[in-house]
Amino acid sequence: MKISGIILCLLLSLHVFAQEPDLLIQGNYKKIPFSFFVREAEQQTGARFFFRDEWIEDITVDAEGDSLSLRAVLSNSFRNKDLHYFIDTSKTVIITKGAALITFLPQFDDMAGIENTNALRGRNGFVTETEKTYLEGRKKRIVETLDVGSPDHRKPGKMVSVRGRITDKETGEPLIGATVFVRETGIGYATDADGQFLVTLPPGTYDVTFNCLGMEEINYYLALHSDGPLIIEMDRKLIPLDEVRITADRFHVVRGSQMGYEHITLKTIKEIPVVMGERDVLKVAQMLPGVQTMGEGTIGFNVRGSGADQNMFFINKTPVYNTSHMLGFFSAFNPDLVKDFTLYKSNIPAKYGGRLSSIFILNSPRGNKKKLTARGGISPVTGHLMVEGPLKKEKHSFILAARSTYSDWLLSQLENPELRNSKAAFYDLAGHLNFEPNEKNSIRVFGYYSHDKFSLASKNQHFEYDNRGASADWKHQWRPNLTSEIALIASEYAFQTVDSSESSSMSYKHGYSIGHYEFRTDFVWIPGQDHLVTFGLNSLLYQLDRGTVRPEGSLSTRNVVALGKEEGVETALYLSDEYEIIPGLTLSAGLRYSFYGMPGPAVVYDYFSGSPRSDLYVADTIRYSGKDLVAFYSGPELRGALNIRTGENSSVKLSYNKTRQYLFMLSNTLAVSPTDQWKLCDYHIRPPHTNQVSVGFYKDFEKKDINFSTEVYYKKTKDIIEYKDGASFISEEPIETQLLQGEQQAYGVEFMLRKNTGRLSGWLSYSYSSSTMLVDGPNSWDRINNGLAYPSNYDKPHAVNAVFNYRFSRQLSIGSNIVYNTGRPVTYPVAVYYINNREHMFYSLRNEYRIPDYFRMDLSINIEGNLKARKLAHSSWMLNVYNLTGRKNAYSVFFEAQGQKIESYKMSIFGMPIFTITWNFKFGNYASD
């Protein structure tokens, strides 16, 4: 091991010498070991050789003469050995394995062309992995030049498209959200879900920096000759402790055109203390500005003041309709299965539609392409196992993951006799196959299943629900600048409930299911340097079986109510272009046009105009056959954004967004419950649509690696669906008699300060927001809250989130979350009256009051095992304290009339600090994934 840091100096000198020097030696060498030859040559010429002993073990030298060319001798000896050499003028001989040292200057295109017949050159060249490890800590700018295309194909004046792909050197996983920054143009690019990016530039040599969270930053000169591919393999950071980046999108926070965009990777998730000791990606999402929940133990999110049914969750293109396990205490996604997630809360790309407020995209890893590895865990409550590995080395890979609880067993151990009868259990399974037959094609097949059951013994209610999903996805590159993706997607959600909370006569069971079957195709076309065009279409079929409410138990005399089946077809076409008008000014504009139709058969009631929708006022009964269209809606969805660079490290962005949604959730409870049914828009219920405008300012303080961003948004939703007071969704009455449509208005401002690296990292965010509903029809029965605007159930004006992580050493770190937000709105009694000596409450206007403010502080201490590089498995301990201050945050405030007295109570879920200890282990060392 003779290579040392002097290589660096050598490297710098490389650029100076255009002609390759040689050395002369003499002697008679007959099959002598290479090491002998080296000793001889060093003595004769004063040269110094650098190589690794294992490379030359079986190399022998066979040469004879008085003035042997060292070059010739080495070339002969290394023939067919995949060894290369480099000799410089200071008599240094460097031997490399795998690839020759690049010894040309970028401007010497003719030489480069000869040396690199293979247009694609990875960076498996000069510095090997191990050597690089040695170099850590005193790294300077090591710049290699990579050639793209061939100078022979160079056409003056024609732009060069580089179709690049960035992968993890260790696992072969594509790196999503890695950034490519071209210093000369000042433009940043980010990789897509396949780790791919496309850069179009005039031919020439550029200084390009590649960045990805958790990976070593690398810098190359790219010599662009003609269109061609480029593969960049990035090394994991061996010292991530000191350099954790909160996001990968370091550059495009400022330079990218995305707004209202959050991207979080597993690395970030690892740093955040969460309840249950589980690294739950959706709990991390709650710490981002603009994302709120109704409270602890609730399902769903409210993004920028919108209802929980206005968000779409995709895992690998498969939509998931219920994203939580066990009353929302766990999310439906196995933490092993989530590599990163992206959230669009405004400026949703034209590619996505179908929801008004936001799109959550979760990506699973592709599976280790290099070696079979497994991870697993078991505890009294849950156990999980994940296996990943290659199906064919370097090409195809698979992942199988499973997670389950044993909490039935746990609850049965409880002393509380009521809980002893309660049941709560869940499991989820996922499988992922990834085929990459060649560079131009990749196929992914993904399957997901989750099952939940629980009983609220106190209320005699039993729930069971399932998510089933599958997708197959083929990505093909037609030309370097044109790729397509075709996907077939199926997702189903079903629940069964048995409710005996009222009398025996009223006990019922009800099953429900929704199916989502989708075909989509998406194209990315890069016609030139300044444009990025995406277009495609998706078509999806919704199949709802709203189920039948049936009597449960021999005493029940409940009516059988068939709620009916319905179908809807939603199709959308889209086209969008990101266009750099002038350097520093990027416009992205997209149009999505969506069509929605509900086919028959159906029976629809028409009501007298000017009268309430009720069975008393049915004017006509319309019968549709299977050939008829019961309802049809369509409309354009414009998406536009403008990014104005206001300085080297700052930008201002503007965006406008229109979204439409053709299905909604029937919910009359405060928080989303697993028995809330999805329902399609129909003859009576019009699809709601939202207009959102936002303005943002972004600044990087590069020296300190701090980003600051602020966004202001205003959005208005027309035809938002609200339930009437006392609405029931399992009754015989048609659904339109239980609902009203109104207007929702939301606005807010969000501030975010992130520090990405250093001992102290984390973020601090504040948002002010408002979300109000208005249901003010022409008649008294078309109004909610007397036609006055009222705060939505999830309107929480002030929200402060702080996430800190402080590293004392590589093995010890402390993290903390601090969460504050205004209490959610509630309706309180404001007056009391008596009838027959019984006290009754008169309630305020809807949501006129608020429950007490929410505050919580969590603490976590992470203790890593030893940092040896070579070991079978690595483990760490995580001590968590959730709700350190023990504050009894209100989940709800409620009132009980107890005879002539009214008692009021506050219910809290986590009313004390909750300690958890988690033991994590994985195969590999500290840095392995």
Partner 1 sequence: MQVIRNGISGMLLLIFISSCIDPFKPEVEDISAMVVISGRITDQEGYHSVEVSKSTSYNDPYFYPVSNCMVTIADDKDNRFNLTEYAQGKYQCWIGKEFLNEGTYYHVEVITPDGKQYMSDSETILPCPPVEDVYFEEKTLETENPDVPLYGIQFYVDADASGFAARNFLWNLSEAWEYHSTYMVADYYDGEIHYSPEYYDSLFYCWSSGDLYDIITFTTKNLTSGKITRCPLNFVSNRSQRLSVKYSLLVSQYSISDEAYNYWNTLQRQSQSTGGFYETQPASIKGNIHCISHPDEAVLGYFMAAGITQKRIFVPRNFGFIIHTPYCELAGYSSAELNDFLKAFKKTTYPIFLVNLSLTESGPWDYAEQYCFDCRKRGGTLTKPDFWE
Query: Rounded to an integer, what distance in angstroms lies between the CA atom of residue 402 and that of residue 389?
Result: 16
Please name every residue paired with 578 in a beta bridge, in sequence order, or none if there are none.
532, 588
Polymer length in residues for the chain: 929
In the complex, the smallest distance separating the C-beta of residue 670 from partner 1, rounded to whole angstroms, is 6
When the beta carbons of 391 and 560 are compared against partner 1, the nearer one is 560
Q: How far is the CB of 130 from partner 1 (least distance, A)?
A: 24
- Which 8-state DSSP code applies to residue 676? P
Classify strands 706-723 and 739-755 as parallel, antiparallel or unpaired: antiparallel
Q: How many CB atoms lie within 10 A of CB 726?
A: 7
In the bound state with partner 1, the residue whose beta carbon lies nearer, of 622 and 907, is: 907
> Backbone dihedral region of 628: left (phi > 0), alpha (psi from -120 to 50 degrees) or beta?
beta
Q: Indicate whether 412 belongs to the interface with partner 1 (CB under 8 A).
A: no
* 833: Cβ contacts below 8 Å, ≥ 6 apart: 839, 840, 842
Say whether residue 562 binds partner 1 (CB under 8 A): no
Single out the segment in contact with partner 1 by CB under 8 A; choices: 31-39, 130-138, 273-281, 797-805: 273-281
Q: Return left, alpha or beta for 546; rule: phi > 0 is left, psi -120 to 50 is alpha, else beta.
A: alpha
Give the shortest CB-774-to-partner 1 separation in angstroms.
Answer: 17
Q: How far apart are CA 902 and CA 921, in angstroms?
A: 53
Q: Using the rule CB under 8 A, give the single segment among 38-46, 236-244, 453-461, 648-656 that binds partner 1.
A: 453-461
732 near partner 1 (CB under 8 A): yes
Q: Does 55 bind partner 1 (CB under 8 A)?
A: no
What is the rounded CA–CA span in Å between residue 368 and residue 221? Answer: 29
Q: Which range of residues in 207-215, 526-534, 599-607, 838-846 is near partner 1 by CB under 8 A?
A: 838-846
Site for partner 1 (CB under 8 A): which residue of 830, 863, 866, 869?
A: 830
One residue of 89, 505, 646, 866 binding partner 1 per CB under 8 A = 505
Q: Which of 819, 827, 814, 797 is nearest to 892 (CA)?
A: 827
In this structure, how many other beta carbons lie within 10 angstroms of the beta carbon of residue 705?
A: 17
The nearer residue to partner 1, 6 or 560, going by C-beta atoms, is 560
Q: Which is nearer to partner 1, 366 or 375 (CB)?
A: 375
Cα 610 from chain centre: 48
Q: For residues 10 and 437, give the distance between their C-alpha atoms in angstroms, rounded to a whole number.
A: 40
Q: Which is nearer to partner 1, 312 or 411 (CB)?
A: 411
| Choices 108-116, 134-142, 643-651, 919-927 (CB under 8 A): range interacting with partner 1 | 919-927
- Amino acid letter, residue 153: H
Report in angstroms how near the CB of residue 509 gets to partner 1 at its nearest: 14
Nearest C-alpha neighbor of 448 from the set 305, 315, 269: 315
Binder of partner 1 out of 54, 582, 834, 872 (CB under 8 A): 834
Write phi, then psi, for 387 (nearest 5 degrees): -120, 135
Q: Does 557 bind partner 1 (CB under 8 A)?
A: yes
Give the whole-angstrom CA distance, residue 344 versus residue 668.
27
Q: Applying CB under 8 A, does 423 fall inside the site for partner 1?
A: no
The answer for residues whose C-beta is within 8 angstroms of residue 255's C-beta and 6 or more apart is 181, 186, 187, 188, 643, 645, 651
Does the footprint of partner 1 cover residue 277 (CB under 8 A)?
yes
- Rounded least distance, CB 609 to partner 1, Å: 24
Q: Does 527 bind partner 1 (CB under 8 A)?
A: no
Note whether 410 and 381 are within 8 A (CB): yes
Q: Which of residues 651-710 bind partner 1 (CB under 8 A)?
A: 668-671, 673, 675
Q: Which is nearer to partner 1, 641 or 857 (CB)?
A: 857
Return the residues of window 455-474 that contact partner 1 according to CB under 8 A. 456, 458-459
- Shortest distance, position 909 Cβ to partner 1, whole Å: 5
Binding of partner 1 by 555 (CB under 8 A)? yes
Roughly what angle, to the nearest 10 degrees, separates helices 34-45 and 70-77?
A: 170
Nearest-angstrom CA–CA distance, 517 and 569: 10
* b/e code 312-340 from CB counts within 10 Å (16+ = b): bbbbbbbbbbbbbbbbbbbbbbbbbbbbb
305 sits in the region (left: phi over 0; alpha: psi -120 to 50; else beta) called: left
Among candidate residues 772, 774, 775, 889, the one with its CA nearest the CA of residue 825: 772
According to the binding rule CB under 8 A, does residue 544 interact with partner 1?
no
Tell me which residue of 499, 517, 520, 519 sits closest to 508, measured CA to CA.
499
H or E stretch at 441:
strand 441-456
**Is 187:468 a contact under the CB 8 Å cutoff?**
no
Show the tokens assigned to 733.
């009455």
Rule CB under 8 A: which of 772-801 touch partner 1?
793
Cα 330 to Cα 77, 338, 436, 458, 789, distances in angstroms: 62, 14, 34, 21, 34
Work out whether 597 is an interface residue with partner 1 (CB under 8 A): no
Applying the rule CB under 8 A, the residues between 846 and 885 that interact with partner 1 are 846-847, 849, 852, 880
Distance of closest approach, residue 785 Cβ to partner 1, in angstroms: 9
CB of 906 to partner 1, least distance (A): 3
Which positions from 357 through 376 interact with partner 1, judged by CB under 8 A?
375-376
Interface with partner 1 (CB under 8 A), residue from 32, 59, 419, 695: 419
Q: Identify which of residues 478 and 921 has a Cβ nearer to partner 1 in the complex.
A: 921
Pick the binder of partner 1 from 42, 844, 867, 871 (CB under 8 A).
Answer: 844
Minimum CB distance to partner 1, residue 745 (Å): 20
Nearer to partner 1, 65 or 297 (CB): 297
C-beta of 436: minimal distance to partner 1 in Å? 24
d(CA 712, CA 345): 12
Question: By CB under 8 A, is residue 895 in contact with partner 1?
Answer: yes
Considering only residues 307 to 346 of the shown chain, the ones binding partner 1 according to CB under 8 A are 327, 329, 335-336
Which of 731, 745, 757, 770 contacts partner 1 by CB under 8 A? 731
SS3 at position 198 = strand
429, 758, 911, 927: which one contacts partner 1 (CB under 8 A)? 911
For partner 1, the binding residue among 123, 270, 653, 658 (CB under 8 A) is 270
899 binds partner 1 (CB under 8 A): yes
In angstroms, what is the minimal distance from the CB of 902 to partner 1? 7
Give the binding range for partner 1 (CB under 8 A) out of 139-147, 206-214, 232-240, 726-734. Answer: 726-734
Q: How far is the CB of 929 from partner 1 (least distance, A)?
A: 7
Among 19, 80, 610, 833, the residue binding partner 1 under the rule CB under 8 A is 833
Q: Which one, 582 or 835, has the nearer CB to partner 1?
A: 835
Kindly compute the dihedral angle of the four CA atoms of residues 488, 193, 336, 439, in this order, to the nearest 10 degrees.
80
Q: How far apart are CA 399 and CA 183, in angstroms?
A: 38
**Which C-beta is closer to partner 1: that of 709 or that of 785?**
785
Residue among 694 and 860 whose Cβ is closer to partner 1: 860
Q: Count CB neighbours of 183 within 10 A.
A: 11
Q: How many residues bind partner 1 (CB under 8 A)?
A: 113
**Collapsed DSSP state (helix, strand, coil) of residue 239:** coil
Distance CA 392, CA 371 (A): 10
Collapse the DSSP code of 780 into the 3-class scheme (helix H, G, I; strand E, B; otherwise coil) and give the result: helix
Applying CB under 8 A, does 377 fall inside the site for partner 1?
yes
Least spacing, CB of residue 916 vs partner 1, in Å: 3
Residue from the set 691, 902, 925, 927 that interacts with partner 1 by CB under 8 A: 902
Q: Taking CB under 8 A as the rule, does residue 279 contact partner 1? A: yes
Q: Rule CB under 8 A: which of 69-128 touch partner 1? A: none
Residue 669: both structure tokens together: 């409870």
Q: Residue 600: what residue type?
A: G
